[in-house]
Amino acid sequence: MKNTKFSLQTTSLSLKHYDSINHQYNGPHIDRPIALILMLILLPCFLINTVLALCTNKCIFTRKQKTDALNRTVLLPTFSCGIWVKTAILFDIYAGKISFCGIPLTHSLSPDIQFCVLNQMKCKAGLFSLYDLHLRTGLTVMNKEQLLEQQLNGNTTDYLMLIIKSFMAIVLYGRAITVLKKAKSLSLFGLHVKNTTMAEAVDWITQTQADNTQIGFFVNVHSINLSISDPTFFNQLSNANALFADGSGMRLAARKAGFQLNGNNNGTDMLPYLCKSCIKRKQSIYFFGAAPGIAQQAARKLCKKYPDLNIAGTEHGYNEGKHTEQIIESINNSGCDILLVAMGSPLQEEWLLNHRDKLHCKTALAVGGLFDFYSGNISRSPLWLREIGMEWVWRLLQEPRNKFNRYVIGNPIFLYRTFVLGLVNTGEK
Ligand code: UDP
């Protein structure tokens, strides 16, 4: 039976295998009707742009040269003047020169992968791609080859969804990501936040050379709101050795300050990378926090997935009856290199800062509901929601009572503070 899945797995090992183009990218056939509808909607804008060009003696269109990930030249049209000049691309989509979704125009693939794609399927360059979508929302769950493979294996519904998600991400996070400043760290709401990719964040955690325990926190909309209403918590966050930007709210805030965040450094996406790095460096982890049995269950599941992972110990986070000193002793006796504390904000941050001098581990992180996810106690949001930065909607649906204040009240307050009061730039309190 013919294998109908497009694959990039076997690249250089069996290039001769790809002797015919036998895969079909399902989706571009809906380009023409969608382009036509959009062109009809945008007709007044097209007319204005055309009249303006004629009145100023300019060509109606100009073309900009781009290269797609397969190294092919693409000439993208724009109106010479007027409004929404880039919408001229709809003419080329309608004419079938370029697709809504296709081969990305934002990066290049290795020659092996290019050969592999070109020999397996006919696919045009695309305005949108799964890679660009993940780049815009800072997701780091797949590399660019995996994303391309997933995109090209999608069906028509996936294609339509990719158009919708890309459009939503552009509305939320803006189109011109390249005009934003890049910086190694930035000041958001008065806090010094690292602007790391996921790999850099993991390197910071596993490769610290300091003599004392390094403390890392993930700051998100909830922690920023807490820090503004509670100066003690603000000071606690300020005393960490590293603050990582977690979630789409931080992405919006950074954007408002003129910066592009390199990655969405949330603990849940980070854990698989952290586990792999710990295995490589022969480092061990200790899980402290969550309801009784949850940290243990998460540890068991992770050890099953990563048999070489060394989880030095676990302890639940409801230890009213047990002395903190005993817990610290058990963490230190385990000889762990990395401690993950999951007791929710601000408890976990407070605990870590109060006891950092007694801890012997290299690094300690506050990780919120991480063990709940990895134990399977709470399910993670579907990828499509994370792709548009809306994971919080899923969490709200799962725990409406617990999370009502945090999301339904907290999110609009955060947006008000960011966009109306402009606190993001000044960090005023
Ligand atoms: N928790 C705990 N001890 C406490 C209070 C909470 O261990 O005294 C745990 C709780 O069981 C949950 C985590 O802390 O696993 C908090 O998760 P939350 O959803 O608040 O974290 P988020 O990821 O949203 O910051």
pLDDT of residue 241: 97
Say which residues have a Cβ less than 8 Å from residue 40's Cβ, sequence separation at least 6.
Answer: none
Q: Are 228 and 428 in contact (CB under 8 A)?
A: no
Ligand 1: residue whose CA is nearest its atom 8:
318
Instruction: Kindly state the average pLDDT of the residues 375-387.
Output: 93
For residue 265, what are the CA distances in angstroms to 183, 195, 217, 242, 383? 15, 9, 10, 12, 16
pLDDT tens digits for range 61-111? 999 999 999 999 999 999 999 999 999 999 999 999 999 999 999 889 989
- 372 CB less than 6 Å from ligand 1? yes
- 291 CB less than 6 Å from ligand 1? yes
Rounded to 5 degrees, what are φ and ψ at 399? Answer: -130, 65
- 199 CB less than 6 Å from ligand 1? no
Mean pLDDT of the chain: 91
- 201 CB less than 6 Å from ligand 1? no
Would you say residue 1 has pLDDT above 80?
A: no
290 CA distance to ligand 1 centroid (A)?
Answer: 6
352 CA distance to ligand 1 centroid (A)?
Answer: 14
Ligand 1: residue whose CA is nearest its atom 15:
290
By C-alpha distance, which of 335, 379, 345, 380 is closest to 365?
Answer: 345
pLDDT of residue 349: 97
371 CA distance to ligand 1 centroid (A)?
Answer: 9
* Helix (H) or strand (E) segment spanning residue 373: helix 370-375
Q: Determine what percent of the chain is predicted with pLDDT higher than 70.
A: 93
This prediction's pTM: 0.86
pLDDT tens digits for range 202-225? 999 999 888 999 999 999 999 999
- 327 CB less than 6 Å from ligand 1? no
342 CA distance to ligand 1 centroid (A)?
Answer: 6
DSSP assigned state of 201:
H
